[in-house]
């Protein structure tokens, strides 16, 4: 027992293994920290900043913050809940999110986080960006309106599928998802229905055609159980940490 290292999360001890970040150790120990771009199967990315915590007085993203013995981490404070609330509002204002008509309603992490954090309105002026959909592929629809730029599809396509079907272009508020084809159309890429990149979108950008609404709204993942509970189920238990990936494009 003496060689297990721990840090404090909201005053309670959380064990960790060397190399784990705060969120990895917290989820493995059954402690939820709200997050969006973090995915247990991928190297932490640190872009959405929803998992921001206060560690020894300084704010940091829990997904990229290395766990250290004795670190005092605050997560469930009014200040941090307010910051997360505002970040989720910003994502709603940045894209075009019409939950009631979205095929992913009830399966969407952004929507579920909105409920988790009590987000009732976007709170800011909507940007209403013009983002045409890509319906070129016979089996897959890309609806960029809902993209939150978490890069999970980019990472999955490069690291797991070894195809790099997806990438990012532009900068600042003009940053956007692109596909790997001179025509700019998904139909002209190497994408296949079995690709990992099609399974990781936390929102409703990547949709399979002709299978929509198979499960009625009201009976979907987050309709049945809040994200706080489901996130813990999908997190790996035990202290294994994903290894570094030198080929990750951004922020790696």
Partner 1 sequence: MHALLDAAMGRYRHNPTCVVQILREVQEQAGWIAPAALSYIAEQLGLPRARVEGVVGFYSFLHAQPVGRYRVLFSDNITDRMQGAEALLDALCRKLWVERGKTSEDGLVSVDTTSCTGLCDQGPGLLVNGRAIARASRERIEAIGELILARRPLAEWPPELFSIADNVRREDLLLGSRPEPGAAIRAALARGAGATLDEVQASRLCGRGGAGFATGLKWAACRDAPIQNVQGASRFVVCNADEGEPGTFKDRVLLARHADLVFEGMTVAALAVGARKGFLYLRGEYRYLLEAIEETLARRRAAGLLGGDICGSAGFDFDIAVHLGAGAYVCGEESALIESLEGKRGIPRNRPPYPVTHGYLRQPTVVNNVETFCAAAWIALHGGESFRAVGTPKSAGTKLLSVSGDCERPGIYEYPFGVTVREILRDCGAASVQAVQVGGPSGTCIDATEIDRRLAFEDLASAGAFMVFDETRDMFEVARNFAHFFAHESCGFCTPCRVGTAMLADAMDKLHGGHGSQHDLNEIHRLNRLLQATAHCGLGHTACNPILDTFRRFRPAYERRLSSFDFEPAFDLDGALAEARRMTGRDDAGAHLAAEP
Q: What are phi and psi of 53, to 5 degrees?
A: -125, 175
Task: Enumerate residues 124-183 that contact partner 1 by CB under 8 A.
Answer: 124-125, 127, 148-149, 158, 163-175, 178-182
Distance, C-alpha 8 to centroid of its chain = 24
Q: Is 34 in the site for partner 1 (CB under 8 A)?
A: no
Window contacting partner 1 (CB under 8 A); options: 1-9, 11-19, 43-51, 69-77: 43-51
Q: Is 121 in the site for partner 1 (CB under 8 A)?
A: no
Burial letters for 41-54: b for 16+ Cβ neighbours within 10 Å, e otherwise?
Answer: ebbbbbbbbbbbbb
How would you class 191 by CB atoms within 10 Å of its CB: exposed for 0-12, middle for 13-18, buried for 19 or more? buried
Residues in the chain: 252
Using a CB cutoff of 8 Å and minimum separation of 24, what contacts does 130-136 make?
131/95, 131/96, 131/176, 134/179, 134/184, 134/185, 134/186, 136/185, 136/186, 136/187, 136/188
Q: Is 252 in the site for partner 1 (CB under 8 A)?
A: yes
Q: Is 83 in the site for partner 1 (CB under 8 A)?
A: yes
Q: Is 64 in the site for partner 1 (CB under 8 A)?
A: yes
Q: Is 91 in the site for partner 1 (CB under 8 A)?
A: yes
Q: Is 18 in the site for partner 1 (CB under 8 A)?
A: no
- Per-residue CA distances from 73 to 9, 24, 55, 65, 137 (Å): 5, 14, 4, 10, 46
Size of the site for partner 1 (CB under 8 A): 47
Q: Is 96 in the site for partner 1 (CB under 8 A)?
A: no
Q: Is 46 in the site for partner 1 (CB under 8 A)?
A: yes
Q: Is 28 in the site for partner 1 (CB under 8 A)?
A: no
Binding site for partner 1 (CB under 8 A): 44, 46-50, 52, 59, 61, 64, 66, 83, 86-87, 90-91, 93-94, 124-125, 127, 148-149, 158, 163-175, 178-182, 246, 249-252
């Amino acid at each position: 027992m003496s060689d297990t290292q721990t840090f404090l999360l909201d005053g309670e001890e959380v064990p960790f293994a060397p190399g784990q970040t705060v969120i990895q150790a917290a989820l493995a120990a059954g402690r939820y920290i709200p997050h969006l771009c973090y995915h247990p199967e991928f190297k932490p990315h640190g872009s959405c900043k929803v998992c921001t915590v206060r560690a020894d007085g300084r704010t940091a993203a829990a997904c990229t913050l290395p766990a250290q013995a004795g670190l005092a981490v605050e997560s469930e404070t009014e200040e941090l809940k307010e910051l997360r609330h505002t970040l989720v509002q910003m994502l709603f204002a940045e894209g075009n999110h019409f939950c009631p008509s979205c095929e992913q309603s009830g399966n969407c992490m952004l929507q579920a986080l909105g409920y988790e954090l009590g987000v009732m309105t976007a709170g800011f002026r909507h940007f209403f960006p013009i983002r045409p959909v890509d319906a070129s592929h016979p089996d897959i629809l890309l609806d960029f309106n809902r993209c939150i730029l978490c890069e999970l599809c980019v990472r999955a396509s490069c690291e797991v599928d070894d195809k790099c079907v997806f990438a990012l272009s532009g900068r600042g508020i003009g940053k956007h998802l692109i596909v790997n084809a001179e025509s700019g159309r998904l139909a002209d890429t190497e994408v296949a229905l079995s690709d990992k990149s099609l399974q990781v979108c936390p929102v409703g950008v990547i949709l399979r055609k002709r299978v929509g609404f198979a499960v009625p709204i009201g009976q979907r993942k987050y309709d049945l159980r809040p994200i706080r509970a489901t996130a813990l189920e999908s997190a790996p238990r035990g202290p294994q940490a994903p290894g570094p990936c030198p080929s990750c494009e951004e922020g790696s």
